[in-house]
Structure 1
Amino acid sequence: KPALFAVIVMVGLFIIGLQIIPVLLGFGLIAFTGAITLSEYYRGARARHQVSGESYFTALTRLFARNRRRYGGYLIHVGVLVMGIGVIGSVNFQQQTQRSLAPGGSMTVGHYTITYNRGLTCNPQFGISGECAEWYTDRGRDIQVIAGYMTVSQAGQPPVIVAPYREVFLNGTGELTPPGILSSVGEDLYLLYLGEQSGFGTIKAYINPLIQFLWIGGIILVLGTLVAMWPSAAERRTAVVPQRAALVPGGR
């Protein structure tokens, strides 16, 4: 029962420490709507299984083949719901911090420890050699690169070296600050390096929980759209027959 499932989800989240009522209601609504949508797949597959003896997997694939618009539409709903999980997580549980660290200094955000190793500034106007040459294998000589090397550690995982950087256009048109990203199913860690001043490098760190669900939901949504729009065999035959018939009056 969808309502019971939604209640179980909300109670379970509350027990493990999630006590923000609007967020609980949001996850409960997603659970309720998702249960309704998935039950449509189950009921259709069960009916075919009982009538024809097909396996549930075969029955489900034939449901899609016979009524792509309906079951592709359900898949679109599932994609939107999965994306909703990502939106709720990233909006309500994002963590961020910014620190200026001397080389060897550390900061924490969530369960990550970030240690600043060193900074590197490469300006083509003063020549490119040594370590800086690695940064200019695929970028123009009108860009100054300001990179920060840091080590990210977390319990139970080997440390990872990350090097976020800034690209400053020497013609004065602006700059880019691509983040260093560590991704997992549960969350993404974004690291921005803002540069070094007086021997201290400034690092900005974000944790975006459940952000991967946005991408997963988007993929499901696109897949559902393709399934819903793809013509069935009967529709393809209907489209072909009039074209053939139109050739008859002028034929010999």
Structure 2
Amino acid sequence: MKNLAARLVTGLLALSACFASQLSSADQFADIKAAGKLRIAIINGLPSFSVTDPKAGFTGSDVDTARLLAKDLGLTPEFVFVTNADRIDAMESKKADLIISALSITPEREQLIAFSVPYSSIALIIAAPRQYAITSYADLRGKKVGVGRNTSNGSLLKQNSNGVEIIEYEDERSLIEGYLKGQFDIISCQHATLKEINNMVSDRRLEAKFIQREFQIAVGMRKSERALREWVNNWVVSNLANGRLNDIFRRHHGHELPESVLPKQVVPRRI
């Protein structure tokens, strides 16, 4: 009987803790809504995703996604500008409520924060001038490669290459400037960054050599905010199904979201 009573007490305590956690999550979501604004960690300077344009202002697929999400939640978006390296820190220090900034889902990041279902994707590539014969990581041995700090492509580069001098930059703008200044000739980046560099140079134009990986990207949140995560998940699923997120992506990237992200019923037909 004593063992049974002990098990009942343990079970009740666990149930109570779970209920308290759910109430806390709901309270956090309520606090965000009561504040009237949604603080969104985002990079300013990631081509096609989030960049300040002289004519269009702050624009890109992540910018439009963030604004639409905040609008549907009935809140004003407040952008918290971060670098590649401090996106997670902005969440852990509670400077932001969400990360919407080309944040790829990785096991390492899942130890620190929670992710929504994927809303978009990013293809990461190795690029270099035409004269470089590069088809794999093995061809990078003995060479300098520029990459953003604390990025998925940087992690892939470190995991898969040996004898490579990896030069890390705090953000995409610094990475681009590093290439323009001749600090390296080989770059790990996304297609839009390659395009932006080629628009700025007449020689040393880059071409994609191989794809490192195509990552699904998602909204990042604190693990404790389960009520907010549930709302965001429902929002992403709904806006993938109705085509609004695909429209945003196509407008800024020039092509559809990949089939790995789109629900089957809205996958564009190839003609």
Q: TM tier, shorter chain?
A: under 0.3
Q: Could you say which structure has the higher strand fraction?
A: 1
Give the structure with higher Rg (CA): 1
Q: Name whichever structure is richer in helix by fraction.
A: 1
TM-score (norm 2): 0.21
